[in-house]
Amino acid sequence: MQRSLGLYDSVSKLTGIGTSRLEALRQRGIETISDLLYTFPFRYEERTPQRNVAALPHGERVTVEAEVEGALIVRYVRGKVLVRAPILIGGAPAAATWFNQPYLKSRIRPGMRLLLTGKWDAARHAITVAEFENAETSENETGWVPIYRTTTGISQKFWRRAIRQALQAVAAPWGIPEILPPSLCQKYRLLDRGQALMWMHFPPDLEAYKQARRRMAFEELFTFEVAMLLWRAEQRVEIRRAPAPIGEALIQRFTQALPFALTAAQKRVLDEIATDMGGIRSMQRLLEGDVGSGKTVLALFALYVAAQRGQQGALMAPTALLARQHYLNWQSVLAKLGVPTVLLTGQTPPRERAAILRGLADGDLVAAFGTHALLEEDVRFHRLGVAIIDEQHRFGVRQRERLEEKGDAPDVLLLSATPIPRTLAHVLYDDLEVSILDERPPGRAPLQTTLLKSRQLHQAWERADRAVQDGEQVYVICPAVFDSEGREEIANVEKWYRHLTTHYREWRVGMLYGEMPAKEKEATMAAFVDHQLDVLVASTVVEVGVDVAAATVMVLLDAERFGLAELHQLRGRVGRGTRPSVCFAVSDATTQEARQRLSVFATTENGFELAEKDMALRGPGELFGVRQSGLPEFQVADLASGRAMLEVAAREAHALQEEGLLSSDAFASLRSFVQQSRSPVFVA
Ligand code: ADP
Ligand code: MG
């Protein structure tokens, strides 16, 4: 019997884990017993030993009970070692084959009874063995057997043995300590932790498995929330400042300088920003708004408020083009408001750059628009009061921090067009207040989305041709850039560029894709913005946030190859002006999944609604590409179907914190679990 171990002891304390296995586990991020126990099987195999050969399904994985009937034969076939044994299954003769395990010859003897799991070949009456064990020993792997994602050097069998051993060792003498508040376990009827861990690995039946999953999903969401709360408490050394309420007169002066009246949603968010900036703590606000909802003016407002207080502001955008567009569009309005503004990108000539840096350092220049170039070491501000990041999902947390560090706890405003549903935003950006801009500015002409089959494509080109005749512009978006041999034909930029330039000679066509030199990319995009091109054939690199009011037609080729969020972002490039626009989604896809996605796309205009529907359809991972969006990855919990649970977990964690309990002794084991485990908070 193993002596008892702690959850945070090294896995090396388990028997059979030497240096090479230890290293293999470490590669998988498994260092402690807890890590091991929290690596759940990715599926289970029902292994009820069969004894009736006639009932075995051909070509499928089966478990049989067999008796070894004669000596093993070792053969070498095309560089592989093959061990073969005659066996009896329920009295019927058959054969068992193992690959590359010549040592079995000395282990398996005639007369032994074995449990064999592997693929059954009904024609040859043979089983290719993946796993086997002695049927006479007591610990047989039957019933629901867990299957793990293994790593080289570690077999399924070993993995299971290690887990069993770990479960026993940590359970003695008092069981695995509970980390959830007992009141919550009771309230939500959750299995206790030890039982749940046991059943996640070795469920006796389906019901037990469901119960274990439910408990683990809750634990995952709850500890995620707790990790976030603890992290925030540590991070935010609260700097308080004297409140400086923002008066109505200041707001009036700002709105009167704008070329349009704000929408009700914009006014609401403007008030939220004013309250934050006038408050005793610096603003930490995320502004989510669909493409074209008019987020930029709210950034300008923040810059204006800072300027009124004698502070400076920075607005960072992901591309030089976008930064330049903001600058060109708004610099004169800001000037009118008494806010001298500059543009700083990687392309700013050295001499001009030096002058800008001087201006920012001594405070003569008030607002800086720019790209990552703003983050450079030698860019210093005299008094940076507000840091704004446009299209924030294109930046990492570190970059956000670097911009913030150029000031002394400046107000922070993040703009995002990724429509993360509010509940998720609260979980993911728990340290931020969230504003949502859910109204499009008036006067926008309608944007119609039409689904086409490729044989109807001529309809799209006819519409495009009319647009070009009328002085409007067209985007053609392809999922691929070049022809790739061997792959089925996917619409690609190069082919369609060639096609359109030869068939529509009067169109001025340009092409744009990621692998182009940056200079060329910028030049092409600028030409399109300046209307020196009528049609732009592009991959998905086509700039986010770029405003080309004359663009009224978008043709999305092989549209099923894009995710729903991506389709929506792309569609946002048109319908930005006053003329009616149309987006053609062209696809011959026949799968139900693809058809459904495209029809949701065609019938849903609002990005947030779309996100909700897509979540229901496929789960958030699919929607944004988990890594790219920075959404947390959970092992058990499912954000798509488990939204209600997420809200409960968040509410309960906050309640504990508000009662001051999270830091109490009673929750020491919860805290150490959160600190030791690989929480998705820190992965994101
Ligand atoms: P996004 O939210 O996608 O960043 P922008 O801030 O670029 O949107 O705004 C899109 C366009 O709508 C811009 O041309 C902007 O000038 C215009 N706009 C913004 N707010 C209004 C409004 N209240 N009325 C009319 N036009 C507006
Ligand atoms: Mg924008």
Average pLDDT over residues 646-666: 85
Can you tell me the distance from the alpha carbon of 343 to that of 346, in angstroms, rounded to the nearest whole number? 10
Can you tell me the distance from the alpha carbon of 18 to that of 26, in angstroms, rounded to the nearest whole number? 12
Cα–Cα distances (Å) from 392 to 328, 426, 431, 432, in that order, read: 21, 16, 15, 13
Average pLDDT over residues 655-666: 84
DSSP H/E element including 651 = helix 643-658
| Structure token digits, residue 592 | 């139900």
DSSP H/E element including 324 = helix 320-336
The residue with greater pLDDT, 251 or 526, is 251
Distance from residue 290's CA to the centre of ligand 1 (Å): 11
545: phi > 0 → left, psi -120 to 50 → alpha, else beta; which?
left
Are the C-beta atoms of residues 450 and 583 closer than 8 Å to each other? yes
Confidence of residue 2 (pLDDT cuts 50, 70, 90): low
Whether 177 is in the pocket of ligand 1, judged by its Cβ within 6 Å, is no
Are the C-beta atoms of residues 155 and 98 closer than 8 Å to each other? no
Q: Is the pLDDT of residue 228 over 80?
A: no
DSSP secondary-structure letter at 544? T
Q: Is the pLDDT of residue 226 over 60?
A: yes
Q: Give 372-414 pLDDT, tens digit per residue.
A: 999 999 999 999 999 999 988 777 667 888 999 999 989 999 9
Across the chain, mean pLDDT equals: 86
- Confidence (pLDDT) at 682: 40
| Structure token digits, residue 570 | 């792309």
Which range among 206-210, 438-442, 597-601 shows the weakest confidence by mean pLDDT? 438-442
Q: 341-344 and 411-416: which strand pairing?
A: unpaired
Per-range mean pLDDT, top range of 215-229, 496-510, 621-635: 496-510
Confidence of residue 629 (pLDDT cuts 50, 70, 90): very low
Strands ordered across the beta sheet of 551-556: 447-452, 581-586, 551-556, 473-477, 535-538, 509-512
* Residue matched to tokens 């690199």: 541
Distance from residue 322's CA to the centre of ligand 2 (Å): 8
- Confidence (pLDDT) at 13: 93
- Confidence (pLDDT) at 522: 81
Q: Give 21-56 pLDDT, tens digit per residue.
A: 999 898 888 999 999 999 998 888 888 888 898 889
DSSP H/E element including 268 = helix 264-278
Can you tell me the distance from the alpha carbon of 26 to that of 11, in angstroms, rounded to the nearest whole number? 10
Can you tell me the distance from the alpha carbon of 106 to that of 510, in angstroms, rounded to the nearest whole number? 71
- Confidence (pLDDT) at 625: 36
Ordered by start, the domain boundaries in the chain are: 49-141, 248-280+296-416, 447-624
DSSP secondary-structure letter at 111? T
Q: Is the pLDDT of residue 100 over 50?
A: yes
Q: Which atom of ligand 1 is nearest to the CA of 443?
A: 25
Whole-angstrom Cα Rg for the chain: 31
Asked if the domains 49-141 and 248-280+296-416 are classified in one and the same CATH topology, the answer is: no
Can you tell me the distance from the alpha carbon of 590 to that of 454, in angstroms, rounded to the nearest whole number? 13
Whether 41 is in the pocket of ligand 1, judged by its Cβ within 6 Å, is no
Which amino acid appears at position 648 of this protein? Answer: V
Q: Is the pLDDT of residue 295 over 90?
A: yes
Phi, psi of 336 (to 5 degrees): -60, -35
With CA atoms as reference, report the closest residue to 77 among 97, 58, 93, 57: 97
Burial bucket for residue 48 (CB in 10 Å: 0-12, 13-18, 19+): exposed
Q: Give 561-575 pLDDT, tens digit per residue.
A: 887 877 888 898 898
CB contact burial 190-203 (16+ within 10 A = b; e otherwise): bbbbbbbbbbbbbb
Average pLDDT over residues 476-480: 93
With CA atoms as reference, report the closest residue to 289 among 277, 298, 280: 298
Ligand nearest to the CA of residue 391, numbered in listed order: 2
Cα–Cα distances (Å) from 364 to 23, 26, 374, 457, 484, in that order, read: 57, 54, 17, 56, 54
| Structure token digits, residue 670 | 């919860």
CB contact burial 547-572 (16+ within 10 A = b; e otherwise): bbebbbbbbbbbbbbbebbbbbbbbb
Q: Which atom of ligand 1 is nearest to the CA of 261?
A: 23
Distance from residue 204's CA to the centre of ligand 1 (Å): 59
Can you tell me the distance from the alpha carbon of 121 to that of 315, in angstroms, rounded to the nearest whole number? 66
DSSP secondary-structure letter at 247? P
Q: Is the pLDDT of residue 486 over 60?
A: no
| Structure token digits, residue 273 | 């920003």
Whether 545 is in the pocket of ligand 1, judged by its Cβ within 6 Å, is yes
- Confidence (pLDDT) at 221: 87
The residue with greater pLDDT, 661 or 88, is 88
Are the C-beta atoms of residues 389 and 411 closer than 8 Å to each other? no
Q: CATH homologous superfamily for 447-624?
A: P-loop containing nucleotide triphosphate hydrolases (3.40.50.300)
**Ligand 1 pocket: which of 255, 296, 327 to mutate (most atoms <8 Å of CB)?**
296
153: phi > 0 → left, psi -120 to 50 → alpha, else beta; which?
left
Q: What is the CATH number of domain 248-280+296-416?
A: 3.40.50.300
| Structure token digits, residue 505 | 């000679």
Q: Give 207-220 pLDDT, tens digit per residue.
A: 899 899 999 999 98
Q: Does domain 49-141 have CATH number 2.40.50.140?
A: yes
Answer positive or negative: Cα dihedral of 419, 420, 421, 423: negative
Ligand nearest to the CA of residue 292, numbered in listed order: 1
The residue with greater pLDDT, 482 or 261, is 261
DSSP H/E element including 475 = strand 473-477
